[in-house]
Amino acid sequence: MGSNLRLGVLAAAAIVAVLVVLGSWYTIDQGERGVILRYGAIAGTAEPGLGFKLPMIDAVVRVSVQSKAVVYDKMEAYSRDQQPADIKLSVNYRIPVDQVDTVYEKYGSEEGLLSRLVERKVFEETKTVFGRFNAVTAIQERGRLNQEIAEAIQRSVAGPVVIDSVQIENIDFSDAYEQSIEQRMLAEVEVQRLRQNAEREKVQAEITVTQANAQADAQRAQAQAQADSVRLQAQAEAEAIQLRGDAEALAIKARGDALRDNPGLVALTQAERWNGQLPQTMLPNGSIPMLNLDTRAVAQD
């Protein structure tokens, strides 16, 4: 009995020793930080790697500092025109490495931080911002809606957490309202198409008018050019006729002046052109041309 008791005591001591040895060290991953608790009170934080603690006195709580995403599905909200919608929203967040002890102290864990701080602000700010948009505007300007929701959440979440980004995954309105929106958008597309057709016809009409005006201007210019050509030709012919008339008048005047200044010029000209033959038929008592002879005198001779 005594030897068995000693063996049991030794075995128990060995087990305790193993537990003490195993419980005196810990490891922290790179994406985590540790909160060291001593008798339940925060005694410090632990960096990534191998660490040692007092067995059965110290405890280590691991807190992730990696960027994570949490998705909030089917958040009910109303638009400014009282249209109900289910919003699916994803929030990317992370816990700063120097705030892990604050997270444990105030919220107990990462899950407590999300449920008591982040989730409440996400719901509240999303509903508030969405309520400033009409249903149609929320769809057409989804980028602006997303930005305003993200900014509102980032401003309101004040605590040991950083909101990196917020993304609207989906906005689900009622089937009836979505059908009405689709019909309205189709109507707007049709109106836009008709406007484009009208604008195209207007432009085509303007092009036709411009072409007609250009053609008319060209015809007027051609007619004017022809008229100017005819006018210039008539003017040239008139000037030519006038010049010929002036030349003939000058010639006649010159001949008259010559006859006046030279009375015998006519007789001389006749004599130069006479072929020497007397006229075969002469009037009684007439004179012989160019000789100024009276036929009676010739007869007496």
Most confident of 112-121, 172-181, 256-265: 112-121
pLDDT for 237-257, tens place per residue?
888 888 888 877 887 777 777
The three-class DSSP label of residue 26 is strand
Indicate the pLDDT class of residue 87, thresholds 50, 70 and 90: very high
pLDDT for 3-56, tens place per residue?
666 666 666 655 655 555 555 788 999 999 999 999 989 999 999 999 888 888
Residue 299 has pLDDT above 50, yes or no: no
pLDDT of residue 64: 94
pLDDT of residue 246: 80
Most confident of 10-24, 93-107, 256-270: 93-107
Residue 160 has pLDDT above 80, yes or no: yes
Residue 116 has pLDDT above 70, yes or no: yes
Question: pTM to 2 decimals?
Answer: 0.55
Most confident of 144-153, 186-195, 282-291: 144-153
